[in-house]
């Protein structure tokens, strides 16, 4: 069997498959279905400084080849994550876990990351900079290179573990944001977060989502995500995690050829809770079919071919 090991920001993973934040809870819910230690790691539910109830309902809408959600970062807040969720998680998952962090000010991000950085099981800090900047007119941190860099710089100043900047696709120049994060000290980049979308109920003539718009995810966004992973991997020297519409072992291989070191699986977990386990089981056969002996050898294979 071919080797599936990869190294992400200095930490070795048994395989590159990572359930994405917001689709896997804090892990123990899925641990009731299968042994989640088969995963490379997982990114736990987006955590903020204070508890958040989330947005009003309805906040989920089905779409062709995808879904829209506007959950609104519902979570118990960082102190309860530390005191309750992580101890419970440690009983079922015995590898370093990725902590996903959200905030509404630079200070929020720094505080939450500093607290999580001290937790033994946390291996990486995935900083979601797609959140609105409450001190900057509400524009997402991730849509402006300077704002994105300010978050990463503040987080790096108070942490010791690898910091991964999670980028929004709702920008005109993804590489400018990625390079700004790298220059500010980011150890890795993950992308893409959800695209902005909406649906209208023909009976009520009103938006399906109470918030009007929400994050569009699922298989339909895979080509967009793949393109942005490819562009970003060519623009930075730090590892890239590919996210967006991944649901098969073949998708994982494609993301890695585009330049991803590891791959997160999001909406597919909500359709089939066993999908990550199944992808990991399928990878050896897909590797053999395409004559791949080690996954680490194909990272950025398309980029390498282009330079020949």
Q: How many CA atoms lie within 13 A of 56 on its CB side?
A: 5
d(CA 151, CA 153): 5
CA 303 distance to own-chain centroid:
22
Phi–psi pair at 111, nearest 5 degrees: -65, -50
Whether 9 is catalytic: no
In the block, which residue shows the tokens 């033994």?
120
Strands (E), the chain: 6-8, 11-13, 17-19, 60-63, 66-69, 97-101, 122-128, 163-166, 188-191, 195-197, 200-201, 206-207, 214-217, 240-243, 262-265
Tokens for 119, please give them.
């937790």
- Reference 306, options 210, 240, 233, 244; nearest CA is 233
Distance CA 263, CA 252 (A): 6
d(CA 274, CA 256): 22
Comparing CA positions, the residue from 22, 14, 58, 61 lying closest to residue 38 is 14
Could you say which of 113, 131, 181, 276 is catalytic? 131
Whole-angstrom distance, CA of residue 238 vs CA of residue 187: 6
Q: Return the active site residues.
A: 131
């Amino acid at each position: 069997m071919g080797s599936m090991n990869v190294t992400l920001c200095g930490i070795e993973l048994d395989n590159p498959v990572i359930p994405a934040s917001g689709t896997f809870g804090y892990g123990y819910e899925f641990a009731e279905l299968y042994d989640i230690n088969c995963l490379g790691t997982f990114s736990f539910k987006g955590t903020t400084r204070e508890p958040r109830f989330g947005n009003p309902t309805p906040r989920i809408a089905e779409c062709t080849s995808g879904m829209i959600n506007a959950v609104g970062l519902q979570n118990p807040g960082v102190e309860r994550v530390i005191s309750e969720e992580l101890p419970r998680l440690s009983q079922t998952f015995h590898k370093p876990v990725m902590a996903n962090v959200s905030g509404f000010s630079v200070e929020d991000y720094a505080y939450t990351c500093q607290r999580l950085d001290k937790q033994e099981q946390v291996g990486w800090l995935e900083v979601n900079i797609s959140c609105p900047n409450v001190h900057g007119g509400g524009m997402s941190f991730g849509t402006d290179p300077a704002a994105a860099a300010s978050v990463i710089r503040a987080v790096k100043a108070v942490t010791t573990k690898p910091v991964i900047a999670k980028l929004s696709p709702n920008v005109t120049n993804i590489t400018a944001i990625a390079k700004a994060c790298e220059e500010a000290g980011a150890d890795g980049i993950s992308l893409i977060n959800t695209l902005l979308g909406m649906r209208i109920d023909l009976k009520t003539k009103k938006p399906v989502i109470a918030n009007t718009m929400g994050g569009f995810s699922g298989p339909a966004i895979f080509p967009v995500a793949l393109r942005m992973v490819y562009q970003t991997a060519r623009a930075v020297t730090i590892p890239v995690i590919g996210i967006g519409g991944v649901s098969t072992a073949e998708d994982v291989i494609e993301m890695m050829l585009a330049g991803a070191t590891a791959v997160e699986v999001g909406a597919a977990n909500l359709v089939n809770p066993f999908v990550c386990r199944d992808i990991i089981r399928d990878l050896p056969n897909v590797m053999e079919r395409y004559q791949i002996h080690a996954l680490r050898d194909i990272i950025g294979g398309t980029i390498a071919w282009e330079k020949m």
